[in-house]
Amino acid sequence: MALRHAVLAALVHGEASGYELAKRFELGVANFWHAKPQQVYAELARLSEAGLVQGREVIQESRPNKRMFAITDDGLAVLAEFAAAPKGLPVGRDDLMIAVQAIDTLDAEVVRDGIERRAEQAKQKLATLQELERQILGGRDEATFVRTSRHLGPYLNCRRGIRFQQDTLEWCEWALQVLRSR
């Protein structure tokens, strides 16, 4: 039941609509949490019923109406409890690594193509995250930002994502070189 906490955490820096939250999950936090839009809407409904978030209707004219959700004090309490609980290791599932594991029996070219495609995906994701980093830093260097900002969480998370994609890319390039050199 951790999507619940992920949604609450995504709301601590201000209210958001289900649509906005779904986008945040897709891009910003996506390396370490992932959720489909339908899941987000369903979770918001449950959180709202439990009193952990509060929604308000926003009537718009040139667009469909939307509901903005904000975290409540009860929601914050639940988040705090979650943060204090011991965490297990991250759960990862990567289809590509299944193919890699079996490369010696399979057609190696097919797996190589998969690694190349993954490298491309990583590059794109990396570009997106670096753009996000620029937005967060807003022209300041890291030391200045760390001293002056009250929004460290998203930055720490963004850095984790950038590192992960860089590491992915480096592994892909190393693996391709190994496979070429056989």
Partner DNA sequence: ATGTACATGTAATCGGTTACATGATTGC
Partner DNA sequence: GCAATCATGTAACCGATTACATGTACAT
Binding site for DNA (CB under 7 A): 1-3, 17-20, 22-23, 34-39, 41-42, 44-45, 60, 62-67, 91, 93
Per CB under 8 A, the list member of 91, 138, 139, 141 interacting with its own copies is: 91
Helix (H) / strand (E) element for 112: namely helix 108-137
Q: How far is the CB of 63 from its own copies (least distance, A)?
A: 28
Q: What are phi and psi of 26, to 5 degrees?
A: -65, -40
Question: Which of its own copies, DNA, none sits in contact with 22, Cβ below 5 to 8 A by type?
Answer: DNA
Per CB under 8 A, the list member of 47, 100, 126, 136 interacting with its own copies is: 100
Which tokens is 112 given? 């190589």
Residue 94 to residues 114, 115, 123, Cα–Cα distance (Å): 12, 12, 17
What amino acid occupies position 68?
Answer: M
Separation of alpha carbons 177 and 120, rounded Å: 16
Q: How far is the CB of 31 from its own copies (least distance, A)?
A: 6
Q: Does 25 bind its own copies (CB under 8 A)?
A: no
Q: Does 79 bind its own copies (CB under 8 A)?
A: yes
